[in-house]
Amino acid sequence: MPELPEVEVVRRGVAEAVVGRTVRDVLARVPRLRWPVPTDLAQRLAGQVVRAAHRRGKYLLMEFDTGWLIVHLGMSGSLSVAAPGTPPRTHDHLDLVLDDGSLLRLHDPRRFGAVLWHDRADGPVESHALLARLGVEPFSDAFSAELLHRATRGRTASVKQALLAGDVVVGVGNIYASEALFRAGIRPTTRAGRVRLARWQRLADAIRATLAEAIDKGGSSLRDFVGTQGQSGYFQNDCYVYDRAGQPCRVCGTAIRAIRQQQRSTYYCPSCQR
């Protein structure tokens, strides 16, 4: 699933290629992804200018004068900019046709993604049901070790599960949680409520550093993810632990271990992470 770095890479590509353009038409080839695609989307967007491209957690928010188009890439989705007249491939489910003829195209083989509309008359986009309860952004001033420490007092869930829950901090998905916990020297099975403030400080710093590095490297392309120009990310080539079970730790040489936590793979070094 595309995580925060991948969505941020897409946001930047959309901002560069699409912001300032006028939508000429919307071509929706399927009536439903994870939820129904609004049937009146073409009427809502035709003639409107894309004012900005934002990101909230793993959601891409394209801003128009009358509201926001909310896009989630699901398990396998991607957004690409295609030349005018480019024929759709299988699983190319939706196009925004722009004033120069170019296409912002959603490709989603599993159809777990979403394309929704939030009208400005219904309030700020942050009030949308999918966004209203999300935790803080890891690059915001609100994100801190003190926040993590305070929010996890009494939690019996593991520290990794607390990161993935999304109610305290958003966007730290499976790959980057494993990598940040390694950098912070914290074993992923440690109970979140037992992590002391000093260790949360190391983890908060590691989360920011890991996500920033992943964005700089175009995200991670383990299966389907590509950027808006079709480029693959390469953060996965330098992972310390993720998807490296049985291989030597890049720091100490101990074999990396893999376990399952809530049906997700977790990777860690039993020597470096205590």
Dist. CA 152–CA 127, nearest whole Å: 24
Whether residue 3 lies in the annotated active site: yes
* Phi, psi (rounded to 5 degrees) for 247: -85, 155
Spot the catalytic one: 11, 56, 58, 160.
58
Tokens of 217: 């490297």
Task: Give the CA radius of gyration of the chain.
Answer: 20
Instruction: Tell how strand 78-82 and strand 67-72 pair up.
Output: unpaired
Q: Which of 21, 111, 217, 264 is catalytic?
A: 264
Contact 227, 219 (CB under 8 A): yes
- Crossing angle of the two packed helices 4-17 and 197-216, in degrees rounded to 10: 40
Rounded distance between C-alpha atoms, residue 250 and residue 161, angstroms? 24
CA distance 230 to 6: 12
Instruction: Please give the Cα distance from 147 to 150 (Å, whole number).
Output: 5
Whose CA is closest to 264, among 167, 176, 133?
Answer: 176
Q: Is 2 labeled as catalytic in the residue annotation?
A: yes
**Count of CB atoms situated within 10 Å of the CB of 227:** 21
CA–CA dist 248, 115 (Å, integer): 42
Longest dimension (CA), the chain: 59
Reading the block at residue 248, the tokens are: 């030597």
Distance (Å, whole) CA 70 – CA 141? 24
Write out the catalytic residue numbers. 2-3, 58, 264
